[in-house]
């Protein structure tokens, strides 16, 4: 089974809206794509389309939050975090308002829309803001639980979601814990720390490596801030070699966060897989993942490239 | 409260503004003095608030979108009893509850954090939407700067307010005509500002922003206007009340020295207004 995390977001919002009457949802004319339209259908009074004005949407969300509402503000990741960066910083992050920014269409797997619509800097932008929590779920069930957890957490949260369908890794028995990474596979030879859509790709890589006699640990680092320092150090100690994998620039995202922790606490070799300081382009998600070296084979090759 | 009582309070607020900024050697006297009379009417005559319970959920809300006029707001809040007037002299000092620009986490009575221009009107829209959603009858007030309306976000928010028929929202434009680099007219004209807001679906009222009766009446007219938000375009004088600061662009963000402070305070103490 597979589903896009944005699909799971739409459903989770409806579930959350039933449980918590303070939840309100804002969108900037992309509700059919971000799936907030599901919430609008269920609770029209608590849905506000702010039109194509992301900066105003973030400020409006901030104002709603001062009155006890729990606003989820959605757009594509590039517009939510890029266009409205300073509004998020000054009107949401600084006053620590209870706004959830759930942005879809992150990364290059937006596909055909091309570079202008492919956000590869959003994790970097959001994790630099004090008070901000950053979550990048790997599949539908994790998205569902992350959305519920974000609503429970008091303060600003950024949730990074994708357009493309991704395989289901988790079932209903999974327990998402904010700020705690998940070890999905254990192996002593190398640790692959992945986030978002790269988690299922890392698992494929681990299967392939196993065939070749290399046993990899795979960590699902769904929360990028606050990062699970303890877990990163633990797997580095166990394996001595770390690879990070993210559908984001290698500058400022998961790879950077992992290097920050390890360089301070337990220096080991780290190789970062991600968008290598370049813009995307139009194409199918599959073509783009291949071109930008984000396939399981790329992970296998990088793992084998360690001395 | 009658006009003469309000005038007396406004004069005391202005004196505090001068003393605070002089003590801090930093701050924005011009734009603080231009919106003092408006703040006085709001906090001492019109707004439904409880200074002993600043987070009372049915209170009227206020957003100082032109956050650099914080000294005037702080002096108003202190005079109204949200915190001690003694705290005013701690403006900008390390560890103070009074940051240079309003921080709702630091100062009792602040409903929103502002300082980066253009953002307060959106927040006020959010507060007004929440009021409608919860069927509460509180009102939301926001003071905008004239230079500030050059920010695009103001017009995004202006559309939102009209679209959602936020008649519980009143914006007041502190139209003193000056911004950091000079007159609005020289830097980038905002005119015709009344026609712009009308075209955006707002009810527009033009007043003298230093005439207490006009300020009161305009706020009452806004309250009785249904189906659309209201903007009060208040013609004001930057640096109002201190002769050598009035209409001088140089006093946008300059603190008075001791000699200037004394002169300003003496003038204000002598003045009838």
* Residue A172 resides in a domain: no
Contacts of A184 (CB under 8 A, 6+ apart): A169, A199, A203, A218, A219, A220
Report whether pLDDT(A27) > 60: yes
| Total domains, chain B | 1
Out of A134, A167, A200, pick the residue that ends a domain.
A167
Q: Choose among A53, A66, A87: nearest Cβ to B119.
A: A87
Task: Please check whether residues A21 and A162 belong to one and the same domain.
Answer: yes
Report whether pLDDT(A254) > 90: yes
Task: Please check whether residues A38 and A131 belong to one and the same domain.
Answer: yes
* Residue A66 resides in a domain: yes
- Percent of residues in chain B assigned helix, strand, coil, to nearest 5: 45, 10, 40
Decide if B57 touches A, using CB distance below 8 A. Answer: yes
Task: Please check whether residues A20 and A162 belong to one and the same domain.
Answer: yes
C-alpha distances out from residue A113 to A163, A251, B84, Å:
11, 23, 57
What whole-number distance in Å separates Cα of residue B26 and Cα of residue B23?
A: 8
Contacts of B95 (CB under 8 A, 6+ apart): none
Q: Which residues span the domain enclosing B154?
A: 3-270
What whole-number distance in Å separates Cα of residue B221 and Cα of residue A109?
A: 53
Task: Please check whether residues A188 and A280 belong to one and the same domain.
Answer: yes
| Total domains, chain A | 2
End-to-end CA distance of chain B: 15
Instruction: Give me the mean pLDDT over the A283-301 stretch.
Output: 98
CB B122 within 8 A of CB A91: yes
Query: What is the band of A307 on the pLDDT scale with cuts at 50, 70, 90?
Result: confident
CA atoms within 13 A on the CB side of B203: 19
Report whether pLDDT(A84) > 60: yes
Instruction: Give me the mean pLDDT over the A78-97 stretch.
Output: 98
Report whether pLDDT(A282) > 90: yes
End-to-end CA distance of chain A: 38
CB A45 within 8 A of CB B112: no
Task: Please check whether residues A68 and A142 belong to one and the same domain.
Answer: yes
Task: Please check whether residues A59 and A154 belong to one and the same domain.
Answer: yes
| Closest residue in B to A84 (Cα–Cα) | B153
User: What does the pLDDT read at residue B36?
Assistant: 98
The two three-digit tokens of residue A203, written as one number: 């698992």
User: What does the pLDDT read at residue A1?
Assistant: 87
At A104-119, the pLDDT tens digits run 999 999 999 999 999 9
Peptide bond into B192 cis (omega under 30): yes
Q: How far is B177 from chain A (nearest CA, A)?
A: 25
Q: Which residues span the domain enclosing A156?
A: 2-167
Would the ipTM clear 0.90, i.e. be above it?
Answer: yes
CATH code at position B13: 3.40.50.970
Task: Please check whether residues A197 and A146 belong to one and the same domain.
Answer: no
Q: How far is A272 from chain B (nearest CA, A)?
A: 36
Task: Please check whether residues A225 and A300 belong to one and the same domain.
Answer: yes
Task: Please check whether residues A156 and A7 belong to one and the same domain.
Answer: yes
Residue contacts between A and B (CB atoms, under 8 Å): 108
Q: Choose among A46, A55, A96: nearest Cβ to B153.
A: A55
How crowded is residue B23: how many other Cβ atoms within 10 Å of its Cβ?
A: 17
Q: Which helix (H) or strand (E) element contains residue A242?
A: strand A241-249
Q: How far is A151 from chain B (nearest CA, A)?
A: 18
User: What does the pLDDT read at residue A227?
Assistant: 98
How crowded is residue A195: how many other Cβ atoms within 10 Å of its Cβ?
A: 32
User: What does the pLDDT read at residue A5?
Assistant: 97
Q: Choose among A24, A63, A65: nearest Cβ to B124.
A: A63
| Closest residue in B to A68 (Cα–Cα) | B130
Query: What is the band of A170 on the pLDDT scale with cuts at 50, 70, 90?
Result: very high
Task: Please check whether residues A8 and A157 belong to one and the same domain.
Answer: yes
Task: Please check whether residues A98 and A242 belong to one and the same domain.
Answer: no
- Percent of residues in chain A assigned helix, strand, coil, to nearest 5: 45, 20, 35
Out of A167, A199, A229, pick the residue that ends a domain.
A167
* Residue A30 resides in a domain: yes
Task: Please check whether residues A152 and A35 belong to one and the same domain.
Answer: yes
Name residues 75-104 of chain B within 8 A of A (Cβ): 103-104
pLDDT profile of chain B (273 residues), mean per 10: 95 98 96 98 98 98 98 98 97 97 98 98 98 98 98 98 98 97 97 98 98 98 98 98 96 95 96 70
CATH code at position A35: 3.40.50.970
**Closest CA relative to residue B268, chosen from B233, B249, B243, B237:** B243
The two three-digit tokens of residue A10, written as one number: 């739409």
């Amino acid at each position: 089974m597979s589903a896009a995390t944005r699909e799971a977001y739409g459903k989770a919002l409806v579930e959350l809206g039933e449980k918590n009457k303070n939840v309100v949802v804002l969108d900037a004319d992309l509700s059919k794509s971000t799936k907030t339209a599901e919430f609008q259908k269920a609770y029209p009074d608590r849905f506000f389309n702010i039109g194509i004005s992301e900066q105003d949407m973030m400020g409006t969300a901030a104002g709603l939050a001062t009155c006890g509402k729990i606003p989820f503000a959605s757009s594509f990741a590039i517009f939510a975090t890029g266009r409205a960066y300073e509004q998020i910083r000054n009107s949401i992050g600084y006053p620590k308002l209870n706004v959830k920014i759930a942005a879809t269409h992150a990364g290059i797997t937006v596909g055909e829309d091309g570079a202008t619509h492919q956000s590869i800097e959003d994790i970097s932008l959001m994790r630099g803001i004090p008070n901000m929590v950053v979550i990048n779920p790997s599949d539908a069930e994790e998205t569902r639980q992350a959305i519920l957890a974000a609503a429970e957490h008091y303060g600003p949260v950024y949730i990074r979601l994708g357009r493309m369908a991704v395989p289901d890794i988790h079932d209903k028995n999974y327990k998402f814990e904010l700020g705690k990474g998940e070890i999905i596979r254990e192996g002593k030879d190398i640790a692959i720390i992945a986030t978002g859509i790269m988690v299922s790709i890392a698992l494929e890589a681990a299967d392939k490596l196993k065939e070749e006699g290399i046993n990899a640990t795979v960590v699902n680092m769904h929360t990028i801030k606050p990062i699970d320092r303890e877990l990163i150090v633990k797997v580095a100690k166990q394996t001595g070699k770390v690879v990070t994998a993210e559908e984001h620039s290698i500058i400022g995202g998961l790879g950077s966060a992992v290097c920050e922790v390890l360089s301070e606490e337990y220096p080991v070799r780290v190789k970062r897989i991600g968008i290598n300081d370049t813009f995307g382009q139009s194409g199918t998600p599959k073509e783009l993942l291949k071109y930008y070296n984000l396939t399981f084979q790329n992970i296998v090759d990088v793992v084998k490239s360690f001395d | 409260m009658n006009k003469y009582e309000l005038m007396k309070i406004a004069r005391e607020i202005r004196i505090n503004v001068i003393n605070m900024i002089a003590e801090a050697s930093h701050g924005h006297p011009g734009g603080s003095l231009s919106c003092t009379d408006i703040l006085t009417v709001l906090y001492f005559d019109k707004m439904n608030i409880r200074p002993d319970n600043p987070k009372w959920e049915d209170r009227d809300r206020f957003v100082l979108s032109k956050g650099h006029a914080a000294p005037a707001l702080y002096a108003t809040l202190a005079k109204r009893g949200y915190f001690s007037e003694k705290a005013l002299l701690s403006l900008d000092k390390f560890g103070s509850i009074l940051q240079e620009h309003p921080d709702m986490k630091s100062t009792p009575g602040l409903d929103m954090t502002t300082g980066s221009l253009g953002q307060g009107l959106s927040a006020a829209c959010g507060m007004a939407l929440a009021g409608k959603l919860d069927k509460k009858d509180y009102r939301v007030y926001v003071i905008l700067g004239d230079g500030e309306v050059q920010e695009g976000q103001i017009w995004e928010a202006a559309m939102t307010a009209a679209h959602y028929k936020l008649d519980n929202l009143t914006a007041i434009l502190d139209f003193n005509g000056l911004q950091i680099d000079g007159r609005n007219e020289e830097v980038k004209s905002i005119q015709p500002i009344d026609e712009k807001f009308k075209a955006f679906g707002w009810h527009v009222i033009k007043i003298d922003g230093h005439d207490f009766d006009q300020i009161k009446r305009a706020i009452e007219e806004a309250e009785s206007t249904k189906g659309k938000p209201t903007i009060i375009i208040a013609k004001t004088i930057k640096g109002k009340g201190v002769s050598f600061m009035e209409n001088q662009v140089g006093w946008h963000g300059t603190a008075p020295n001791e000699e200037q402070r004394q002169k300003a305070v003496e003038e204000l103490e002598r003045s009838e207004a």
